């Protein structure tokens, strides 16, 4: 090849190469979705903007049953368990498919002995419980309170268990979000004191828990209602849309 021609060939090739890199970078910076519009998990997601069902920020703890159900049916079990025996025969498969996760005591909370529910929730609700627990512990530390964990009093219910409960208790609606594995009850009457290994009431712990719930409700992390008859907060998780917004339904 003649040296002059080779020189022009190299200049041309380099120009095309540099221009291709420029186009590639342009595509990344301007056409791919910005990182801030995406989320990776429950904790990082901006629920106010990306919740997958309607919800508006508020600091009051009195969301109606209808909106709990809307979110529960969207994100929880497609079909509630009709009976306790149906639950026992299917639960292993649902856990294997990661549709439900077993809830157990940890450094943030303790389960009371469950009479009408099973200790299972959808994965996002587990993340929600841990976030409430972490913030509750931080709030207690700030105020130099004693070491408390909150008590979980109800989780996933079968239709059979829900019907029995509804007969006894007019506050427990037959169509409850507890049927879908998205909803949990946290007591405000009693807390677990880790220093004395006892269950006790605590004004300071109620204040700390209430302030965490108000703050997280303002961020649309869940729906919540204070149930006076059961002395608990009834909380339904809010789930974000999928990462790729073009894939959402």
The distance of closest approach from Cβ of residue 248 to Zn ion in the complex, given in angstroms and rounded to an integer, is 29
The distance of closest approach from Cβ of residue 153 to Zn ion in the complex, given in angstroms and rounded to an integer, is 8
229-233: long-range contacts, CB 8 A cutoff, minimum separation 24: 229/169, 229/171, 230/153, 230/169, 230/171, 230/185, 231/187, 231/188, 231/189, 232/153, 232/154, 232/185, 232/186, 232/187, 232/188, 232/189, 233/61, 233/185, 233/186, 233/188, 233/209
Identify which of residues 137 and 182 has a Cβ nearer to Zn ion in the complex.
182
The distance of closest approach from Cβ of residue 230 to Zn ion in the complex, given in angstroms and rounded to an integer, is 7
Choices 31-39, 59-67, 155-163, 181-189; region in contact with Zn ion by CB under 5 A: 181-189
* DSSP code at position 178: G
Choices 3-11, 24-32, 123-131, 182-190; region in contact with Zn ion by CB under 5 A: 182-190
- Angle at 36 (CA atoms; ends 34, 37), nearest 5 degrees: 70
Task: Out of 63, 127, 159, 185, name the contact with Zn ion by CB under 5 A.
Answer: 185
The distance of closest approach from Cβ of residue 178 to Zn ion in the complex, given in angstroms and rounded to an integer, is 6
* DSSP code at position 50: H
Q: Is 84 helix (H, G, I), strand (E, B) or coil?
A: helix
Identify which of residues 127 and 185 has a Cβ nearer to Zn ion in the complex.
185
Task: Out of 155, 225, 234, 236, name the contact with Zn ion by CB under 5 A.
Answer: 234
Identify which of residues 47 and 234 has a Cβ nearer to Zn ion in the complex.
234
Distance from the Cα of residue 87 to its chain's centroid:
22
The distance of closest approach from Cβ of residue 120 to Zn ion in the complex, given in angstroms and rounded to an integer, is 15
Nearest to 141 by CA among 212, 220, 201, 199: 212
Identify which of residues 159 and 185 has a Cβ nearer to Zn ion in the complex.
185
Identify which of residues 45 and 209 has a Cβ nearer to Zn ion in the complex.
209
* Contacting residues toward Zn ion, per CB under 5 A: 185, 234
């Amino acid at each position: 090849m003649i040296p002059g021609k080779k020189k022009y060939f190299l200049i041309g090739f380099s120009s095309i190469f540099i221009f291709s890199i420029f186009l590639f970078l342009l595509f990344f910076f301007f056409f791919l979705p910005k990182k801030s519009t995406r989320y990776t998990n429950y904790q990082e997601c901006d629920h106010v903007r990306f919740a997958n069902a309607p919800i508006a920020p508020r600091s009051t703890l009195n969301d109606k049953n209808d909106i709990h159900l809307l979110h529960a049916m969207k994100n929880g079990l497609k079909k509630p368990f009709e009976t306790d025996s149906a639950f026992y025969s299917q639960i292993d498969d649902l856990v294997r498919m990661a549709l439900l996760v077993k809830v157990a005591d940890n450094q943030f909370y303790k389960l009371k002995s469950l009479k009408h529910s099973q200790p299972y929730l959808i994965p996002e609700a587990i993340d929600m419980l841990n976030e409430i627990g972490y913030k509750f512990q931080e709030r207690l530390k700030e105020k130099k309170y004693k070491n408390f964990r909150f008590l979980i009093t109800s989780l996933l219910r079968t239709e059979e268990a829900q019907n029995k409960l509804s007969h006894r208790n007019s506050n427990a609606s037959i169509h409850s979000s507890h049927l879908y594995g998205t909803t949990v009850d946290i007591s405000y009457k009693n807390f677990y004191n880790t220093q004395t290994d006892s269950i006790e009431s605590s004004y300071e712990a109620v204040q700390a828990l209430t302030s965490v719930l108000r703050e997280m409700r303002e961020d649309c992390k869940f729906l919540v209602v204070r149930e006076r008859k059961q002395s608990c907060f009834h909380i339904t998780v809010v789930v974000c849309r999928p990462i790729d917004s073009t894939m959402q339904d």
